Amino acid sequence: MLKVVSSEEAFEIISENLTSVYVGTERVSLGDSLGRVLSEDIISRENIPAFNRSTVDGYAVRASDTYGCGESIPAQLDIIGEILMGEGADLSVGDGQCVKISTGGMLPEGADSVVMVEHTDNSFDSLCLVYKAVSPFENVTAKGDDIKPGATVLRKGTRITSRHTGILASLGIKEVSVFMKIRVGIISTGDEIVPAEGETPVGKVRDINSHILSALMSEKGCKCTGYGIVKDIYDDIYDAVLRAVKENDIVLISGGSSAGTRDMTAGIISSLGETYAHGIAVKPGKPTIIGKIDGKAVFGLPGHPAASYFVCLRFVVPLINMLYGIKDNTRAVKSKILRNISSNHGREEIVCVKLSDEGAEPVFGKSGIISLLSESDGYIIIDRNREGLRCGEETEIHLF
């Protein structure tokens, strides 16, 4: 029983049926957190900075003491001491007083601003002449200016990048709770498939999919296990699927590009669990199967490497993001298409593009052509309700 769905229906199927896959959590050190996905909100328990901090070298003052001063009528303040870098300020600045301070130094009590050293003259022993007025909090990062206690600084579902490690370190966080890496089992099927390494007998084809799918899933934060190349034999595929489902959260079965093998894969998924879609109206990638076995997501992917890659990018990666709770992972940008593209009405189409200053140049090729992938900068998705794109049209480019 064939059930070809649209890509919208496929997304619905995935979010309704497959997001119940359970992903555990673990605690990792800040140093090991890069690339992992937060499984908790990070809430500050502190003020950052923890104290009023000078952003310049100069004199900590009461701003009101400088009002009205200028080049010709300097304010005269008594220097009552110096704040040493990294030391608490046990001085208190009163009316007509000031304290020497360095960039990063802690403002003493009573002071509310800092006069830059360039705007002072301290050649009179303990007297400081101020030639430029400051307003309260001028040249100061106030306590809590950056982060206040109770503030949610990072949300669950954030994939940690270098930019996030800064905020975690600033809060003194040693460890964070992250999602366990989603385990993806990868099975290559096909009588014609041989291991990628080495020579290929006549009529055979190298196993590209195991490599490209494993690399893509690794990039998206998954832990991949290969289950080798399985011949187009029902029992062999059945056994491999059973084993992969047991040991993983998501199973990808690539190959079986011919209708007969596709049906076999679909039959195996149905016999062990449920099949929701047998074909998606998308090019490349039509022979895609979506199913579930024992609460685990199972995808039957096309045999052609580029098709397999795109189906994975278009349907499996969104599932991974849903499971990790990653909200917005798009990198779409707008660009002009430099050529007419015709597409099949009723079927969504993915076309690779190369970007230049002029716009996006479509890179055409049959779905088996793997070299196109490495030459492109991104891809466009032509809606199934469109009959193509006109040259010059502004289009959303999904960057790789």
Residues in region 267-306 near a second copy by CB under 8 A? 303, 305-306
Q: Supply the minimum distance, in Å, between the C-beta of residue 292 and a second copy.
A: 25
Based on CB atoms, which residue is closest to a second copy, 294 or 394?
394
- As a whole number of angstroms, the distance between CA 234 and CA 261 comes to 9
Q: What are phi and psi for residue 358, nearest 5 degrees?
A: -75, -35
Q: Supply the minimum distance, in Å, between the C-beta of residue 189 and a second copy.
A: 11
- Size of the residue set binding a second copy (CB under 8 A): 89
Which residues in the 95-154 window bind a second copy by CB under 8 A?
102-106, 141, 145-147, 153-154
- As a whole number of angstroms, the distance between CA 122 and CA 76 comes to 10
187 contacts 237 by C-beta, under 8 angstroms = yes
Short-list 123, 125, 76, 120, CA closest to 97: 76
Q: Supply the minimum distance, in Å, between the C-beta of residue 213 and a second copy.
A: 8
Q: Supply the minimum distance, in Å, between the C-beta of residue 371 and a second copy.
A: 5
Q: Does 87 bind a second copy (CB under 8 A)?
A: yes
Only one of the segments 128-136, 158-166, 246-254, 275-283 lies at the binding site for a second copy (rule: CB under 8 A); that segment is 158-166
Q: Which of 238, 309, 315, 324 binds a second copy (CB under 8 A)?
A: 309
Q: Supply the minimum distance, in Å, between the C-beta of residue 275 and a second copy.
A: 21
Q: Supply the minimum distance, in Å, between the C-beta of residue 359 and a second copy.
A: 11
Q: Supply the minimum distance, in Å, between the C-beta of residue 115 and a second copy.
A: 16
Token pair listed for 287: 């022979």
Q: x/- contact string, 342-371, with a second copy (CB under 8 A)? A: -----------------------xxxxxxx
- Beta bridge partners, 101, equal 58
Angle of helix 234-247 relative to helix 259-272, nearest 10 degrees, comes to 50
Based on CB atoms, which residue is closest to a second copy, 9 or 145?
145
Which residues in the 14-43 window bind a second copy by CB under 8 A?
30-31, 34
Q: Supply the minimum distance, in Å, between the C-beta of residue 301 and a second copy.
A: 13
Number of Cβ within a 10 Å radius of residue 192 = 17
Q: Does 198 bind a second copy (CB under 8 A)?
A: yes
Q: Which of 138, 232, 249, 349 binds a second copy (CB under 8 A)?
A: 232
Q: What is the CA radius of gyration of the chain?
A: 31
Q: Which of 27, 246, 327, 334 binds a second copy (CB under 8 A)?
A: 334
Concatenate the DSSP letters of all residues of 160-183 into one string: P-HHHHHHHHHTT--EEEEEPPEE
339 contacts 377 by C-beta, under 8 angstroms = no
- As a whole number of angstroms, the distance between CA 60 and CA 186 comes to 64
258 contacts 323 by C-beta, under 8 angstroms = no
Q: Does 225 bind a second copy (CB under 8 A)?
A: no
- As a whole number of angstroms, the distance between CA 283 and CA 291 comes to 20
Q: Does 47 bind a second copy (CB under 8 A)?
A: no
- As a whole number of angstroms, the distance between CA 75 and CA 59 comes to 12
Q: Does 203 bind a second copy (CB under 8 A)?
A: yes
Q: Which residue has the tokens 């949300």?
A: 155
